[in-house]
Chains A and B, each alone.
Chain A
Amino acid sequence: MSMPPELTLNPTAGADAPRYYLRDEHHPENGTLLGFWLYLMSDCLVFACLFAVYGVLGRSYAAGPSGADLFDLPLVAVNTSLLLLSSITYGFAVLEMQRKHLRATLVWLGVTGLFGLGFLSLELYEFAHLIHEGAGPQRSAFLSSFFTLVGTHGLHVTFGIVWLVTLMFQLGRHGLTAPNRRRVMCLSMFWHFLDVVWIGVFTFVYLMGVLP
């Protein structure tokens, strides 16, 4: 609020002055984290729709290759471990932030980013390999829905990494200020949320896709 509250008061209504007192000012961060959680829930609905599309179309191969022909489970296992490791290293970053160790926070955030990049590179390699084999998104309804679902998740990871790098610059410049700590907590929720979505992807798409 830029204007001092008493300027807005009617001078004859002095008894009403206390209602301009902002009672909640001592925890202003709650609003952001709750709002960000609501955004994540709406993102969850986006993924629910994409999962539903994959659930409906996932066996429509159009005489093309099926999941059992295409999916390379060891690669998916490595990808899953990379994302899980990035979750725990982000947890370490949050712990170091609570101890007010800026440098250690930055190091763990950097490690998280590297795991995220590893995940993305493997996923892009997988996509390139599929497209090279003629199993691109235009081949069948199964592959269209597969690329949409997994690609949307990968896009989220990409934006998570962009945000992570931005946050590291903000932390490096301003230190562990209250706004920066709030940003770290928001990205923490985003990052762990992406791992939760990935649980659904590797179970529903990859593992169930190779079942006969």
Chain B
Amino acid sequence: MNHDDHGHGHDDHDHHDGGHAPSTLKGYATGFILSVILTAIPFWLVMGKAFNNSSTTALVILGFAAVQIVVHMVYFLHMNARSEGGWTMLALIFTLVLVVITLSGSLWVMFHMNSNMMPTMHEMKVRP
């Protein structure tokens, strides 16, 4: 429970709603400016063909996306370890574990299925 460890234990409904800290203009502005930068750079990298190697570009823009998702979570969705007594964070971590398993598992299994089971063009030609 979210009580009494930071001065005002009860939720003051005149100022904020549902146990979230009140939003501030500074928070939204910081999040917005960071998001603009973190969006512009990947678009520039791809449209300006900054790297010759596709997989380098892919890894870099995936990194930017991950950072931008964290920025949105913190500044727009007001995620922190204390909101709702930590239950939102717990649910988020659980979901992230499932998302990672779903994505990496699907890609890994299906990639190997493709490379091991798909007939190559050569095999298809010699088939009767």
Residues on A close to B: CB < 8 A? 26-27, 29-30, 32-34, 37-38, 41, 44-45, 48-49, 51-53, 55-56, 73, 77, 80-81, 84, 87-88, 91-92, 94-95, 98, 178, 181-182, 185, 189, 192-193, 195-196, 199-200, 202-204, 207-208, 210-212
Known contacts A52-B107, A207-B46: does B16 contact A98 (CB below 8 Å)? yes
Contact among B46, B69, B103 with A73 in the assembled complex (CB-CB below 8 Å) = B46
Contact among A38, A56, A181, A192 with B72 in the assembled complex (CB-CB below 8 Å) = A192
Is B11's CB under 8 angstroms from A27's CB?
yes
Is B84's CB under 8 angstroms from A208's CB?
no
Indicate the size class of the contact surface on chain B: 35 or more
Q: Which residue of B lies closest to A59 (CB)?
A: B114
Known contacts A192-B76, A200-B69: does B107 contact A30 (CB below 8 Å)? no
Is B76's CB under 8 angstroms from A26's CB?
no
Q: Does more than half of chain A's interface fall in helix, strand or loop, or is it mixed?
A: helix
Is B61's CB under 8 angstroms from A52's CB?
no
Is B99's CB under 8 angstroms from A55's CB?
no
Q: Which residue of B lies closest to A60 (CB)?
A: B114
Which 6 residue pairs of A and B lie closest in terms of their CB atoms, listed nearest first?
A91-B28, A52-B106, A203-B65, A29-B18, A33-B18, A192-B76
Contact among A27, A45, A200, A211 with B102 in the assembled complex (CB-CB below 8 Å) = A45
Residues on B close to A: CB < 8 A? 10-11, 13, 15-20, 22-25, 28-29, 31-32, 35-36, 39, 42-43, 46-47, 54, 57-58, 61-62, 64-65, 68-69, 72-73, 76-77, 84, 87-88, 91-92, 94-95, 98-99, 102-103, 106-107, 110
Contact among A26, A77, A203 with B10 in the assembled complex (CB-CB below 8 Å) = A26
Q: Which residue of A lies closest to B22 (CB)?
A: A98
Is A192's CB under 8 angstroms from B77's CB?
yes
Q: Which residue of A lies closest to B114 (CB)?
A: A56
Is A37's CB under 8 angstroms from B61's CB?
no
A38 to B42, CA, bound (A): 31
A80 to B88, CA, bound (A): 27
Residues of B within 8 A of A95 (CB): 23-25, 28
Known contacts A48-B102, A56-B106: does B17 contact A87 (CB below 8 Å)? no
Is B65's CB under 8 angstroms from A80's CB?
no
| A142 vs chain B, min Cβ distance (A) | 14
Residues of A within 8 A of B94 (CB): 41
Contact among A30, A49, A77 with B84 in the assembled complex (CB-CB below 8 Å) = A30
